[in-house]
Amino acid sequence: MRDLEPHELDHTLRTTAREFELSGSIGPDGQSTLPERLADDETLAWLREARGKDPLAESLERWLLRLREHAECAPRRRKLGEALNTTLHPVREPESGLRTLGDLLRTALARPAERAALLRSFFGAAGGLSEQVKRLWEERAQFAERVGASLASFEVASPAVLPAARDFLSQTRDAYQTLGIDGGERLLTLALAEDAHEGWPSRLSSRSVAALLPEPEWFEGLRLAPFSLPEAHGAASFARAFGAVGRALADAAAARRTPFVMTRDVFDAQRENMGALLSLLPTSRAFATRRLGLGAGSATDHVRSLSRTALVSARTAAFRVLLRELLLGGSRSLQQNFGELAELAFGFELPLPVAGAFIRARPRDTQRFAALLQASRTTSALIERHDEDWFRNPRAIRELRAELEQPLPPGPDAEALSAGGRALQAGLEAKL
């Protein structure tokens, strides 16, 4: 077996991870361009032999598995993308014609008057996309069996996240029912916060979002890599854009340190935590008045709308965590439990043929949900130490920046997630 140099391997992993994040590295034949040394089973075997001998071995192995999964499942992900954005389907609503599923969803986001009809057409045509999603998760499970490691070993930071998702759905059910959501149209409308349009920049861009955080301490000494933003549909797009800024901020801080596998954890904990923290800013009354310049009455309505959106988003994140488990359990598990899960999370049943198609499950959804809970605790602590407008306080910002320079924290335990769930629930319910 070849002898490998851990720091050289770390550099290869860093470079490959960046390439995959930028482009997916999928060639015209649907195959990945994973470097030979990462695709070689001998590399994985060498790292497993090095456990307990080299302090980098376990982290290197986890990142290797993450990138190999991405590469080996790339052809199926390409087919899934084609099913969403290339395959045409005959539809009758809102007008007869041929449409892709992606076009139906994008148009539903942009046209409130036609939203219900567009979603009916999407639900009626989404069966093929759902099948591609199920095949992807079957192939992911096969990959895990082939390499002798669970997907959770490099995708789930803590086993406590799954029960925390169930608990959050149960604890926020009464508050959610006050929103009057009875179907996909109302769910999507509240998720967009279209009525909270005052005060925002006229254009959604990385520059316009960063301008809402003008304190130099946020970005001082950092070079943020280009990052993608959501399409501009309602105020919720700005909340998601703040999340993107937070993740880019964490990435820029990590990029200054080595080794890669120790400063950028495989679960994306730090980047998701910072993203979640900033994504909650629009639910703050202090942010609405002092950053967006809204008056008292407008700020109340604004915060109420975005808090409803945040509750929908948090429950959707919990749904994704539980959907992940159903998909890993196979078609029978999905068939038996999907309707009940959708009813629990959204208050109405989604048809089985849209399972995994209308709301997707992604490899690191558990961390994204956990990050929301942890960000709520962090927000409460920042308010207690620095007041409601902590996001303007240089000391608070420096504290957050200093945390990004610290060793990676362990995965959250059940107690921390429970406390975060209570903080998120209380913070949102007080504003609904």
Tokens coding 385: 């130490």
Closest CA to 410 of 374, 369, 361: 374
DSSP string over 277-330 = HHHTGGG-HHHHHHTS---HHHHHHHHHHHHHHHHHHHHHHHHHHHHHHHHHT-
Structural domain spans, the chain: 161-429
Does the pLDDT value for residue 30 go beyond 50?
A: no
Cβ within 8 Å of residue 216, ≥6 positions away:
none
> pTM for this one?
0.95
For residue range 356-394, list pLDDT tens digits in order. 999 999 999 999 999 999 999 999 999 999 999 999 999
DSSP notation for 176-200: HHTT---SHHHHHHHHHTTT--TTS
Q: In the prediction, which pLDDT does 146 show?
A: 97
pLDDT for the residue 27: 40
Query: Is 90 exceeded by the pLDDT of residue 262?
Result: no
The encoded tokens of residue 259 equal: 């080794």
| pLDDT value of residue 206 | 93
**Element housing 89 (H / E):** strand 89-91
CA atoms of 407 and 210, how far apart (whole Å): 26
Tens of pLDDT, residue by residue over 326-355, are: 999 999 999 999 999 999 999 999 999 999
Distance between CA 174 and CA 179 in Å, rounded? 9
Q: Is the dihedral of CA 88, 91, 93, 95 positive or negative?
A: positive
